[in-house]
A and B are shown apart, each in its own frame.
Chain A
Amino acid sequence: MSPLLTWALLFALGCLTLSATFALVRMIIGPRAEDRVLAFDCLYLNSMLVIVTLGLLYRSSSYFEAALLIAMFGFVGSSAMAKFLLRGEIIE
């Protein structure tokens, strides 16, 4: 792996960490519950992107399944919480 790609991947990891920190700050200061659910969804996406970047850095293609699973769990979690905010119950 060339140094250019290594530095690009490290830069990307830094950007994604900063981005996850922004989502975490919004989750902490978010004035209402829906802001927190939105920040949770964004945090899930950012951590999935961090895992994809680590798979690029280690040149391993098995990180892909972990990223797909995280995307799936993030969707289930945040849509269940949005349903809960809308209805007050999840399973109707």
Chain B
Amino acid sequence: MNPPSPAWVDALIAIFVVAGAVTALIGSFGLLRGKTFFQRVHPPSLVATGGTWGLTLATMIQSSLVTSRPYLHAILIPLFIALTAPITTVFLTRAALFRARRRGEPDIPSPPLSGDPRAAPGDRAAGASGGTPASSA
């Protein structure tokens, strides 16, 4: 029903697909390989950016070719992921930091030395008394 797609379009789609899938694989391997939780937080954002963008760009190219008009709905997926993935990561890192301080682990990331004025006193209080943020719950 559709004319066969030109070879260079197929090659372009294949490049995007392989790049996205390999980036996702690297991200998940980093999730498996990190030593502490705060090292393991970082690699899954490779899945959320590189993998999602690569596969979605390939989908956009192929669907535009199949329907022979611009098909741009697929860009909603990486936009939505780009909006929501940092929210989850920030919540999760805060929870992990809070729980690590309650357990009294020695090697947690230190608070920033300067800059955010809210961070330093609250963090010291949480580290000393063990659980100031929970008192507001």
Give me the interface of A with B, judged by CB distance under 8 Å: 1-2, 4-5, 8-9, 11-13, 15-16, 18-20, 22-23, 25-26, 32-35, 37-39, 41-42, 45-46, 48-49, 52-53, 55-56, 59, 61, 64, 67-68, 71-72, 75, 78-79, 82-83, 85-89, 92
- What is the minimal beta-carbon distance from A90 to any residue of chain B, in angstroms? 11
Identity of the chain A residue whose Cβ is nearest the Cβ of B78 in the assembled complex: A71
Chain A residues within 8 Å of B25, by CB: 15-16, 18-19, 22
- Is A35 touching B37 in the complex (CB atoms < 8 A)? yes
- Is A39 touching B10 in the complex (CB atoms < 8 A)? no
Q: How many A-B contacts are there with CB distance less than 8 Å? A: 174
- Is A42 touching B7 in the complex (CB atoms < 8 A)? no
Selected contact of B41 from candidates A20, A38, A92, CB within 8 Å: A38
- Is B55 touching A52 in the complex (CB atoms < 8 A)? yes
The answer to whether the Cβ of B14 comes within 8 Å of any Cβ in the partner chain is yes
- Is A59 touching B31 in the complex (CB atoms < 8 A)? no
- What is the minimal beta-carbon distance from A32 to any residue of chain B, in angstroms? 7
- Is A22 touching B28 in the complex (CB atoms < 8 A)? yes
Task: Give me 5 A-to-B residue pairs in the complex whose CB atoms sit less than 8 angstroms apart, sorted by A's number.
Answer: A9-B14, A15-B25, A16-B21, A26-B31, A79-B91
Identity of the chain A residue whose Cβ is nearest the Cβ of B2 in the assembled complex: A59
**A34-B47 contact given A1-B10, A16-B25, CB 8 Å threshold:** no
- What is the minimal beta-carbon distance from A45 to any residue of chain B, in angstroms? 5
Chain B residues within 8 Å of A5, by CB: 10, 13-14, 17
Selected contact of A82 from candidates B10, B37, B47, B91, CB within 8 Å: B91
- What is the minimal beta-carbon distance from A25 to any residue of chain B, in angstroms? 6
